[in-house]
Amino acid sequence: MINKLDAKGLICPEPIMLLHKAINEAKHGDKIEVFATDPTTERDVEKFCNFLGHILLEKKIEDKEFYYLVEKRDKNIINTNLEN
């Protein structure tokens, strides 16, 4: 499932707080599209994913707008597919 998160016009820490809420409500493997205008998200989304073990699948920056595609990873699920 893909969820859309519109964080345009919000400033730090609101976009990451909304992403955190969306991740908590998502299931393992769900994807979240994040649309933002705050340049700090470029750093924060990547750090959020690295710290919590989620996957940043895509990042695009165009005309001061930021797009991220994040896949939720649940630490409690064992990955039997060695290619991921």
The reply to whether 49 belongs to the active site is: no
Q: Which of 12, 69, 59, 6 is nearest to 35 (CA)?
A: 6
**Residue 33 within a domain:** yes
**Residue 59 within a domain:** yes
**Residue 83 within a domain:** no
Predicted structure pTM score:
0.87
Catalytic residue among 2, 7, 10, 12: 12
DSSP per residue, 1-69? -EEEEEETT--TTHHHHHHHHHHHHSPTT-EEEEEE--TTHHHHHHHHHHHHT-EEEEEEEETTEEEEE
CATH number at residue 40: 3.30.110.40
**Domain range for 9:** 2-63
Residue 68's SS3 state is strand
Structural domain count of the chain? 1
**Residue 82 within a domain:** no
Per-10-residue mean pLDDT for the chain, 84 residues long? 95 97 96 98 96 97 96 77 51
